[in-house]
Structure 1
Amino acid sequence: MNRFNIGIYFISRNLVFTVACFLFLFTSIIPTKAQTRAVKPIGLRTDLMRYSDYVGLNGVKQSLPLNDDLLTEARYEVPLVQSEKPLLNWVLDNQSQGATAFQVLVSSKLMKLKNDHGDLWDSGKTNSTNASVLYNGLPLQHKKVYYWKVRYWEGQEKVSAYSDPKAFVVAPDINNEKFSQEPLIATDQMPEKIDQQKNRLSIDFEKAAFAKLKIELTGTGADSVIVTVGEMVNKDSQTIDSLQGRNISYYKTELALKSGTHWYEILWPSNSKRASNPFVIKMPNYIGEVYPFRYLEIKNYKGDLNPKQVVRTMVNYTFDENASNFSSSNKVLNQIWEFCKYSMKATSFCGYYVDGDRERIPYEADAFINQLSHYAVDSEYGIARGSMKHLMFNPTWPTEWTLYNILMAWYDYLYTGDDRFIKKYYSELKIKTLIDLSDDTGLISTLTGKQTNEFFKKLHKNHWGKNNNLRDIVDWPQSKPPGGYSDLSDFIGTEKQYPGENDGYVYQTYNAVVNALYYGTLNVMVKIAAALNQKQDTTMYRNKAEKVKRAFRATFQDKKNGLINDGENTSHKSQHANMFALTFGLIQDRNIESVLKHVKEKNMSCSVYGSQILLEGLFDYGGDQHGIDLMAAKTERSWYNMIRYGSTITMEAWDKRYKPNLDLNHAWGGAPANIIVRKMMGVEPLTPGAQTIKIHPKIGEIESAALKTSFITGAVTVACNQTDKSYSLEVEIPGGVKGDLLIPATKGNKKLYINGALSEQSEKKGSFHLKNFPAGHHILEVK
C-alpha cells in the first residue's frame, strides 16, 4: 500500500489526520526553502576557454579524461591556462531572471569535487549577480590538473544544482605575455564528389580549407601519378586552373608509387618569402604545414578510388557550428551569411587572425574585422586576445592600423567583461592613440615632423625596412605608390570612378579619414579609462575628443553642403572621408541627410576593408536598406561576385580586376557576418560581458529574418517578420541577461502587444524602446 492509498484510507477514519498526511505528502513533492532545483549552470569556461578539458593528439580529439596521469605523456595537446588566477565563467538557465549569489568549488581531485569538497577554494555563498569570478583560492601548481564547478541562487529560496565538473591545467611555465588558448584541431574530410575519367580523377571537397592530404593508392613499384591541388578550376570545371595568379593556390607534384596498396601523405612546398619573414605565424609542430585547396586531381592512376581513400585533414581553431545561424526571405543574403561564417572558421588555421595565406601575418585592420565577424558567428575569444597582444608589439605600417588596436581592446572587454587585457596594456593603448602626432589644433598628422626615433620606440615599430614611418593608407590598394600599383587605370571597371580602392582620395598634410578614426578612438579611450577608474584620463580623453571634433569640422567640412573634404586644401569629397566621418559621429544632425546621400550615390567605391566602415555608417544613420542592398548585390563589387568567381572563402578584393595579386582566403572580406548580426539584426552587448544586450533590428524591406548568435552569457535568438499591417519580433534572451529592445512603430494601428497582451508602452520617434527587458522567450507585435 503506497502513501497515497494510506491517505485515502484515513479519510474515512479521521479527517484531521488525513489533512495532516496530505500536507506531509504535498511538502515532500514541492521543494522547500534552499532546496536544489533541477536546472544547473552550463557553458563553463576556464580563462575564457570553452574546452579547457580537451585532450588532442596531432590535432585530433581523444576520448581521454584530462588528469595528472595523462600529463606525464608529452605527446598529447591540452589547453594551458596562462594565469595563476584564471577567470571562471558560467551560463545560467534560460528561465533565470538573474542570480543573487553563487558558490564555486575548486578541487585538486575529481573525487573531492564530486563530494562537494573544494580543497583549493570554496567561495562559499557569495552575494553577486555576476556569472563569472576570478579564482581566489590557494596557489595553483604548474602542470597540474584541477577541477571546478559552480551553483547559483535566485533570490533567497532557489538554489541550482551544481554544474558538471570542468577540468583545467595550469601551464608548466606561465608566460605573462601569453593568453590562454586552445590547441588547433584537425578534422578528416572525405570528398563531396569524385569524377573518374580515363587516366584522370577529378575530386571536389566542395569548400576550400587549409589542410593536409593523404591518399590510399595501389601501385606496381614501377609507376607514378601526378597529384595536383588548387583553389580554382577552369571554366569547364574539369581541370585545376594553374593560371589564376601566384597567390591563388596551385601545386603539382609527381608521386612514385610503391608496390602494393599504401597511404601517401602529400608534402606541401616551402614558401621562401614567408620563411624569410620573422613575423610570420608558424604552424605548430603537432599539426605541421597546411595548404589551402578545394580541388584535387590525380593523373595516370590505373585504379579506382572511393571517398574513404582520399582524406583531406582540415585544420582550424575550435569552432562551434551551432553557436550561430541566420536565415531570411532574401536568398542571396543567406548565401552571403554562410559564405562569411565559413570564412571565419577556415581562416583560423594559424590560431591567430592573419591576412590570408600569402603572408600569414597579423595586420590590425584585418584583425579588427576578423574579430567582430568571429564574435558574431562564434563566442570564442582566445584568437582575438593572442592577435591583439601580437599586434601591440609588432605593429604594421599604416597610420590607421595603429588606431584599430584600441577598438579591438574595447570590443574584447565589451564581449568578455574581462578587463585584464585593457588593464595590463593600458599604458600601451594610450600610446596607440597617436596623441604624440597631434598639434595645437588637436588634429594628428604623419607629415609634420613628429615621427621621431623616440616615437618609433614607444610604438615598437622595428620591422618595416628603411622607412619606419607610419603612412596614411585610407584604403587598399591605393591608386599610386607607396604600396599601390603605379597604374591601376586598367582595373577601374564600370562600377567606380577612380583607379585603386580609395575613390580618388587626395592625400594632404591633414587627412580626414585618419582624423575621423582618431576621433573615434579617443571616444573609445573615454570608455576604457572609465572602466579602469582612471578619472583624470577619462576627462582628458573626453576633452581631446571635443577639441578634435571642432577642428575636424573647421578643417574638413564644406560649409555649404556639410560634406567632408579629403584634406585641408582640397575640395575633393571621397566616399571614404564622408563614411568615416559619418560612422564615427562627426556629422551634425542637420547634415546627416546630405552626407548619407553622397555616400549612397557612390555605392561600393571602397574595398572589402572599407565596406566595414561604410556598412556601419549606413545602418547607424538611416541607410539600412541601402546597406542590405549592398550586401545582397550581384554586381562585380559584391560578396556574391566572390562566390560567382569560384571562391568559398572571402577574398582579399572584390575581383582580380581590382587587385591582380589577390588571394582567396582573406577574413577581412567577411564584414557581412558581423554587420548582419550587429547592425541588421541589431544584436550586440550593451554592457561589458553581455550582461545587457541590445536588440535593435533594422531589416529594411525584408519580409522575414531569423538569427541565433552567442555571447559569453548564452545564446540569443531573434526573429523578425513584417507585413504591410504588422511587425513581430520574437526573442529568446539568456538567463540573467537584460534586453534593450527597439521595435519599429510603423505598422497597423501602432499598438504594441507583448506576449499577447496590449502594452501601455508609448512609441517615441517611430519606435517602441523597451529597457531592462527580462530574460526568456517573448513575442512582441506591432499591429
Structure 2
Amino acid sequence: MNPRTLLAFIACSFACASSHALDPSISSLLRPQLSEDGKTEFEAMLSRGYKPLFNGQDLSGWRNPYPHGEAEVVDGEIHLKGNNKFFLVTDKTYSDFRISVEIHLPEGPANSGVMFRCHVDPEKEKMVYGYQAECDGSERRWSGGLFDESRRGWIWPSTPGRSEPKFLKHEKESKAAFATPTIRDALNRNGWNRFEITCFQNQITIELNGVKTVQWKDTMDASGFIAIQHHGEKGQTYRFRNLFIKELPNIVATEAVEIIEQSPVHVTKIDKDFTLVDFGKVAYGNIAVTLPKSAPFQGTMHFGEKLSKGRIDRNPPGTVRYGKSEYTTEKAESDKFIIPAPVNVKNIEQTGNHPPAVLTPNEWMPVMPFRWVEVEGWPEELKPESIVRRAAFAKGFDDNASSFECSEPLLNRIWELCKYSIKATTFAGVYVDGDRERIPYEADAYLNQLSHYAVDDDVQMAARTFDWLIENSTWPTEWAPHMVLMAHAEWIDKADGKWLSQRYESLKMKTLLDRSGPDGLVRSNQSQQQRDDIVDWPRGERDHYVFTEINTVVNAFHIEAMKKMAVMARAVGKEKDAERFEGRVELATSAFQKNLFNESTGLFRDGVGTDHSSVHANFFPLAFGIVPVDKVDGIVDWLSKQPMRCSVYAAQYLLDALFTHGADQKAIDLILAPNDRSWKHMVESGTTITWEAWDLKYKPNQDWNHAWGAAPANLLPRYVLGVQPASPGWTRATIRPHVGNLSYARGKIPTPFGPITLDWRNESTFQLDVNLPPGIEADLEVPAPENSTRVLVNGKRVEASQRNDRWILNKAVTGNVQVNVE
C-alpha cells in the first residue's frame, strides 16, 4: 500500500467514526439487523445481480481438504464443527469479484473469517493459506481486519509478533482505526454479520455490516479460492449462510442501454481534406460509416463537443471533450465500418483512490460525448447517408412520456435542455458524473433520479444506481444521507415494498447517526471539517461558509435522512425503528433550532462558534422543513433578496425551498437571471447538455455533460405545473401550481398509472384543466386571485377553504376535471 493510499484510508476511517461513545439506545439504528431466517437478505442479493456460491441444500461446489472437520447443511445454512482448525473451500478459483457472506459465531471463545483468493497445498501442514477477512469474537474486536493466514500474519491492523516489519509501520494508525466506535462495534457478537469483500486487480476492500474496515493494495495474489473457517474450538458450531458472488467488472449497460443510429443534421465540406458533420446535439457514442467502393484508405476521425471558428476546438477548456481516432479500412470485413472514439484512461480506471469507473460493453467499442466530427482523409465527397452516430441511451427511454410549455419561451428551452440532459447521460446504465470520471456520486445520482422520474415513464436506472452506490460509496459527508433520499424517492415513486425491505437495513449507516452526540447533533472532527463536509461544490460556491464542529448543513441532511428513515421503517413494518428515528429527529431538531439560529439576525448561522450566515445554512433547513414556523417568512424574505450564491447542485435545494414557501417568482427569476449564474446563460451558450458548473470561470475543469445541472427538468413539473405524489406509488397526488408571473402552463407528467396531463391559465381568473389516469386521486390547492370568492369543479361550486393566497379543495378529485376560481 503506497503512503498516499494509506493516508487516504486513515482519513476515511476517522471520517466514518465518531470520537465519542455511542448512545446505546440507538445501537439498533446504527448496525444492520439481519433477519433470523435470512430470506430477505437472500432475495436482496439475487435482486442486486449476485450469484449464490451455496445452493442452500447441499455442499455442491465446496470441499474440505482436511482429514478432520465436519461440514453439513442445516436449514439452508452451512454448519462447521470440529476439534481442530479447518476451512471449507470452493471448488473454483476467482479473480476479481465482490463476495458477501453472513456469519454467526457461537457463544464463548470463537474466531472465524472468510478466505478469498486463497490457496490449498495438501503438502503443507497448514494447507489453506492466503487473505482472510477476520471475524473476531474476542474482546480485541478486530473483526473486519485483513489477515494473511499461514503466511504474513496481520496486515491491517498490525501488531508485533503477528505482522511482518513492513506492516508494523502503520501499527499505530491501524489500531487507532479499529479502536474507533464505528469499526470496533461493527460486529454483532450474538447475531448474524455480513462480510462483504471486494477484490479488483491489486485493491482489496472489506466491509462488515456496512462499515468499511479495510482498503488495501497488495500484489501477493490475483486469484484463488474462497473459503470459510472453523477455528478449532471443540464443541463449537460456526454457522454460515447467504454466500454470494458478483464477478467484476460489472458492466450494467449491457442489459440496460441500447445503441441507436442517428443521422447527421448537417454535413459541410470544409476543404479538400476535411468534412464537418453535425449531429445537432451531444450524445455518447462513436461513428459508423459506409465505405466507398474504392481502394482501402487511412484517415482520422476528430470528435468534439465545442466549435471554434467553424472547426472542432482541438484544445477546449476544462474537460470539454475533444479526441481523435486514426483508422484504416484495409481489413474492413464489410462496407459498414465502425470508428471507435478514443479512450480516456480515467474513464476506465477500476482501482485507485476512488470507486471504479463505470465501463461500457466491449462490443460497443469505445464511446465519448460529442456533437461534431471532422472527417479527415475521406477519398471522395462524404454523403450524409454514409455516416451515422451510434449513440447510447437507456433502453425504452420515452421522449413522449413528458412535456412542458409555459408563457415564458426561455423556460421552455431550459426545460427541453434539461430533459435531454437526463436522456443523454443514461449511456452507462447508471447515473454518472459526466465524462471526466464516469463515476456515480450520491448527490449527483439523487438529482438525476428526481429529474428522470419527471421526464420518463419507466425508470429503472434510479434503483440500479442505488445498488451500485451501496457497493461503491464516495467520500463527502452529505453524500451518504443522499442514499436515504434516493431510497425514499424510489419508494414514493413505485411503492415497491419488497425492494425497500431488501435494502432498508443497508441505509442505517448512511444517516450519520454514528457521528451524533447526546443532543442529537452530528459532530465533525478537523479532518471532516477540512475535507469531507462538503456543503457545496466546487469550493468557491460555498458563499464563504465557515466550517465548525457542529455544521448546519451537515445536520440539516442528518435530520432529513432520519425523517425519511422513519417513513421507510414504517413502510417495512419496523415500528420500533420508526419511533426511535422520530425520537432522534425531535431531539436533533430542538438542538438544531436552539444552537444554530441567530436571533439577532433572524438567520441560521453556518455552525456553532460562528455568526456567519451563508445562504446554504438557510435554504437547506428551509427545504427540509427544519425552520421554526415563526422564522420562515424572515428567511424566505432574506433569500429572496440574494442572487444565485450556490452551485448548480445546491440550486436544486434553494429553488425547492423558494417554490415550497411561496417565492415562486423569485425561483423563476433565478432560473432566468440575465447573468452567468443561471440556466439562461447555459441555454444561450448553445450547449445541448447541462454543465457541471455555471461557467468555466467558476470551475475551470468542469465538463459539459453533467446532469446534476438539470434540476429544472424536475422543478418545473413539480412546482410550475404543481404535480407531486402525495402517497407512495402515486395512488394520491397533490396538484399545487406555482404560477409566479406566468399567464399559462401546460404539460404531461409520467406516473406508474399513466400520464397526468394538466393545463392552467392565470389571468383575471384562474382555470385548471387536469386529466388523472384511473387509479389516481388528487388533492387540489389552486391560486386565489384577488377578490376571488368561490371554486367551481366541472361547473359546480365545491367546498374549499382559503388559506393565504390559495384555495384548498375539501375533497380529492379523479378523472377529467376543470377547476375555475372566480
TM-score by length of 1: 0.70
Which has the larger share of strand? Answer: 2
Q: Structure 1 pair 256/427, CA: closer, same or farther in 2 (3 Å)?
A: closer
**1:439 Cα offset (Å):** 0.7
**1:434 Cα offset (Å):** 1.3
Aligned 8 A contact 2:318 2:696 in 1: no
- Distance, in Å, in 2 between the alignment partners of 1:308 and 1:384 is 36
Cα distance per residue 1:337-358 (max 9 Å; x no partner): 1001011110000110111111
Matched, 1:206 2:245: no
Q: Letter of the aligned partner of 1:215 in structure 2?
A: V
Matched, 1:183 2:256: yes
- Distance, in Å, in 1 between the alignment partners of 2:444 and 2:752 is 23
Equivalent in 693, 700, 722 of residue 653 of structure 1: 693
Could you tell me which residue of structure 1 aligns to residue 471 of structure 2?
393
Aligned 8 A contact 2:253 2:429 in 1: no
Q: Letter of the aligned partner of 2:346 in structure 1?
A: K
Could you tell me which residue of structure 2 aligns to residue 27 of structure 1?
none
Structure 1: gaps spanning 5 or more residues: 1-46, 48-172, 452-466, 479-499
**1:226 Cα offset (Å):** 3.3
Equivalent in 568, 583, 603 of residue 563 of structure 1: 603
Q: Structure 1 pair 327/621, CA: closer, same or farther in 2 (3 Å)?
A: same
Equivalent in 343, 346, 351 of residue 424 of structure 2: 346
Could you tell me which residue of structure 2 aligns to residue 682 of structure 1?
722
Identity of matched residues, %: 36
Match of 2:688, SS?
Answer: coil
Could you tell me which residue of structure 2 aligns to residue 540 of structure 1?
580
Could you tell me which residue of structure 1 aligns to residue 7 of structure 2?
none
Q: Structure 1 pair 176/240, CA: closer, same or farther in 2 (3 Å)?
A: closer
Could you tell me which residue of structure 2 aligns to residue 334 of structure 1?
412
Q: Letter of the aligned partner of 2:361 in structure 1?
A: P
Aligned 8 A contact 2:778 2:814 in 1: yes
Match of 2:364, SS?
Answer: coil
Please show how residues 285-684 of structure 1 align to structure 2 within 5 Å: 285-318=362-395, 319-447=397-525, 471-478=532-539, 500-684=540-724
- Distance, in Å, in 2 between the alignment partners of 1:710 and 1:395 is 30
**1:676 Cα offset (Å):** 0.8
Match of 2:443, SS?
Answer: helix
Count of equivalent residues: 571
Q: Letter of the aligned partner of 1:642 in structure 2?
A: M
Match of 2:733, SS?
Answer: strand
Cα distance per residue 1:703-746 (max 9 Å; x no partner): 010010111121101111011x2100110001021111111122
Could you tell me which residue of structure 1 aligns to residue 204 of structure 2?
none
**1:755 Cα offset (Å):** 1.2
Could you tell me which residue of structure 1 aligns to residue 772 of structure 2?
733
Q: Structure 1 pair 210/422, CA: closer, same or farther in 2 (3 Å)?
A: same
- Distance, in Å, in 2 between the alignment partners of 1:248 and 1:720 is 40
Match of 2:311, SS?
Answer: coil
- Distance, in Å, in 2 between the alignment partners of 1:542 and 1:181 is 42
Aligned 8 A contact 2:285 2:341 in 1: no
**1:588 Cα offset (Å):** 1.7
Could you tell me which residue of structure 2 aligns to residue 134 of structure 1?
none
Aligned 8 A contact 1:727 1:747 in 2: no
**1:419 Cα offset (Å):** 1.6
Structure 2: gaps spanning 5 or more residues: 1-43, 45-243
Q: Structure 1 pair 659/418, CA: closer, same or farther in 2 (3 Å)?
A: same
- Distance, in Å, in 2 between the alignment partners of 1:227 and 1:773 is 59
Cα distance per residue 1:298-318 (max 9 Å; x no partner): 234352222211110111112
Match of 2:546, SS?
Answer: coil
Q: Letter of the aligned partner of 1:348 in structure 2?
A: T
Aligned 8 A contact 2:253 2:428 in 1: no
Q: Structure 1 pair 291/546, CA: closer, same or farther in 2 (3 Å)?
A: same
Equivalent in 279, 294, 300 of residue 226 of structure 1: 300
Q: Letter of the aligned partner of 1:765 in structure 2?
A: N
Aligned 8 A contact 1:220 1:257 in 2: no
Cα distance per residue 1:637-672 (max 9 Å; x no partner): 112222333321111111111111111111111111
274-283 vs 688-697, which deviates more? Answer: 274-283
Q: Letter of the aligned partner of 1:759 in structure 2?
A: V
Aligned 8 A contact 1:190 1:307 in 2: yes
Cα distance per residue 1:107-149 (max 9 Å; x no partner): xxxxxxxxxxxxxxxxxxxxxxxxxxxxxxxxxxxxxxxxxxx
**1:216 Cα offset (Å):** 2.6
Could you tell me which residue of structure 2 aligns to residue 745 of structure 1?
784
Match of 2:451, SS?
Answer: helix
Could you tell me which residue of structure 2 aligns to residue 50 of structure 1?
none
Please show how residues 91-110 of structure 1 align to structure 2 within 5 Å: none
Cα distance per residue 1:439-467 (max 9 Å; x no partner): 12210023189x9xxxxxxxxxxxxxxx9
Could you tell me which residue of structure 1 aligns to residue 323 of structure 2?
251
- Distance, in Å, in 1 between the alignment partners of 2:641 and 2:801 is 36
Cα distance per residue 1:522-568 (max 9 Å; x no partner): 11112111212222111111111111111112221101232011111
- Distance, in Å, in 1 between the alignment partners of 2:496 and 2:675 is 42
Match of 1:595, SS?
Answer: helix
Q: Structure 1 pair 181/627, CA: closer, same or farther in 2 (3 Å)?
A: farther
**1:699 Cα offset (Å):** 1.6
**1:219 Cα offset (Å):** 7.3
Q: Structure 1 pair 308/748, CA: closer, same or farther in 2 (3 Å)?
A: farther
Q: Letter of the aligned partner of 2:813 in structure 1?
A: P
**1:603 Cα offset (Å):** 1.8
Aligned 8 A contact 2:659 2:667 in 1: yes
Q: Letter of the aligned partner of 2:348 in structure 1?
A: A
Q: Letter of the aligned partner of 1:661 in structure 2?
A: N
Aligned 8 A contact 1:579 1:617 in 2: yes
- Distance, in Å, in 1 between the alignment partners of 2:532 and 2:245 is 37
Match of 1:711, SS?
Answer: coil
